Structure 1
Amino acid sequence: MSGPAARAMKQSEIVARQIVAQILGDGLGEGTRLPTERAMLEEYQVGRSTLREALRLLESRGILSIRTGRDGGPVVRRPRPSDLGEAMTLILQFEGVAFSEVFAARQALEPLLAGMAAKNADQAALDALRDCVDRMASFIDESAVFHAENLRFHELIAQAAGSPVLELLSSAVEWVADGIAFGAVDAGFSQNQRQIALTWHERIFKAVAAGDAPGAEAMMEGHLQDSREAWMGRYRDVTQRPVQWTPITEAPA
């Protein structure tokens, strides 16, 4: 059975691809202003409506931000894992997926990353993990700092795994799973929960540092199971609800 026929690209989509190629080819960093509308109309040889549609498409994909006012115009923006997380949240909401399924995805993915980190982590990655765990211990009584370091630990594990694709996917799932981004509950840790998380992170770090892949996987599985049980115990009604989209808002650069 044949699939749907591929449609021809719109002119605005072709221009959008050309703009992306130019951004990357010229090495334009985040915050760089693109040429004026007049200059781009001349360069791409299209009408104003086509160019503006191309810019809106790139803005919707997180590649540009469109500033208003006298000094406004398109500005380069580097896409973030949270952009993928937001898109994933919308898809999950339309599919009616329960928030508990996001935890199940984490439980499948993060132990794999921990095992890969044990095999691939270099000294710089181990130093960063050690610093993160030490900061968690130092700020165990400060929930906001502890929460930030908790998220950083999981990001560092994903980075140390050495798979950019799995790292990006993990960051997106983590963004959806984070209670603050989810917008449903206060994701603050209790004193006891902070101590439990710190203990698991110490165990995970020791296994990664020792190059013990099975141990790192097992420790991450235990950590995530503890976290899931804590969430289910405290927010069972919330975790059974469908994922809800929370739009990302960013302050102007």
Structure 2
Amino acid sequence: MGDPAVRAMKQSEIVARQIVARIVRDQLPEGTRLPNEKAMVEEYQVGRSTLREALRLLESRGVLSIRSGRDGGPSVRKPRPSDLGEALTLLLQFEGVNFSEVFAARQALEPALTGMAAKNITPATLASMRECLDRMNAYIDESAVFHAENLRFHKLIATSSGSPVLTILGQTLESVADGLAFGAVGAGFTRAQRLKAMSWHEKLYDALAAGDPVAAEDAMHGHLEDSRKDWMSRYRDLTRSPVQWATAGVSL
């Protein structure tokens, strides 16, 4: 007998995979409208209920956006690390993992990504990072803007690592931590934290611009350790609590 945990795929799941294969094969950009329901029923040789179930599955996976109404329908949406973060949050909740372990995972991964980035970063990416730093300085008292630029700064580092898999994992962990924090306590950076983060970001920029992997890793480790200490100080109960999907918010 086969593994009882392995089940045959439903027809809707097969169709969902066929739709994904077509999107990737034809390199359909985000926002591309898919054919209407009648055309897709004929193309995939399934009933309307099966097609609709396939489309709902893809919407839940972040592959499609579906609008209702006369001018609605499914359109292509590129999955994001935050989509994976939703699934990971659920998995962590069932495993009874504490919030602090999410920070620990980031501390293990992001310095390595930063060291890799120091070997691969381009002048264009450094220029984009400089823009981030300038905006963070200009909007030091506007938490939402600062927060968005902070996420962008870290994303630029990760994508410069040259490892798409590790980049996605790093961004997923960041989205999990960020979503849990904002969902649970509406937490944001204090002004003192923003100033401290800026200091570390400048050190990171200098190390990356110099192409120094050791200095870059050290700076990221110091940055994340400072953040961990701040979180432990301000939200001790949260950091010791199990991860809960119910309290997770959407990362900004």
Q: Under a length normalisation based on structure 2, what TM-score does the superposition of the two structures give? A: 0.91
1:38 alignment counterpart = 38
**1:86 has 2:79 as partner:** no
Measured after TM superposition, the shift of residue 81 of structure 1 is 1.1
Separation (CA, whole Å) in 1 of partners of 2:227 and 2:181:
17
Query: Residues 184 and 248 of structure 2 are in contact (CA less than 8 Å); yes or no, is this contact kept in structure 1?
Result: no
Separation (CA, whole Å) in 2 of partners of 1:60 and 1:191:
37
SS at match of 1:27: coil
Separation (CA, whole Å) in 1 of partners of 2:111 and 2:205:
13
Measured after TM superposition, the shift of residue 44 of structure 1 is 1.3
What are the residue-to-residue correspondences of 1:49-68 with 2, within 5 Å? 49-68=49-68
CA RMSD of aligned residues (A): 2.0
Measured after TM superposition, the shift of residue 29 of structure 1 is 2.1
Separation (CA, whole Å) in 2 of partners of 1:182 and 1:142:
16
1:223 alignment counterpart = 223
2:173 corresponds to which letter in structure 1?
A: V
Q: Under a length normalisation based on structure 1, what TM-score does the superposition of the two structures give? A: 0.91
Query: Residues 121 and 161 of structure 1 are in contact (CA less than 8 Å); yes or no, is this contact kept in structure 2?
Result: yes
Change (3 A) 1:180 1:10: closer
Separation (CA, whole Å) in 2 of partners of 1:89 and 1:186:
17
Change (3 A) 1:247 1:78: farther
Deviations 1:211-236 (A, max 9, x none): 11011111111111111000000100
Measured after TM superposition, the shift of residue 125 of structure 1 is 1.2
Change (3 A) 1:115 1:28: same
1:103 alignment counterpart = 103
Q: Percent identity?
A: 71
Query: Residues 85 and 175 of structure 1 are in contact (CA less than 8 Å); yes or no, is this contact kept in structure 2?
Result: yes
Change (3 A) 1:193 1:247: closer
Q: Which runs of 5+ in 2 are unaligned?
A: none
Measured after TM superposition, the shift of residue 79 of structure 1 is 0.9
**1:15 has 2:15 as partner:** yes
Separation (CA, whole Å) in 1 of partners of 2:124 and 2:87:
32
Q: Which runs of 5+ in 1 are unaligned?
A: none
2:214 alignment counterpart = 214
Query: Residues 182 and 244 of structure 1 are in contact (CA less than 8 Å); yes or no, is this contact kept in structure 2?
Result: no
SS at match of 1:184: helix
Query: Residues 179 and 187 of structure 1 are in contact (CA less than 8 Å); yes or no, is this contact kept in structure 2?
Result: no
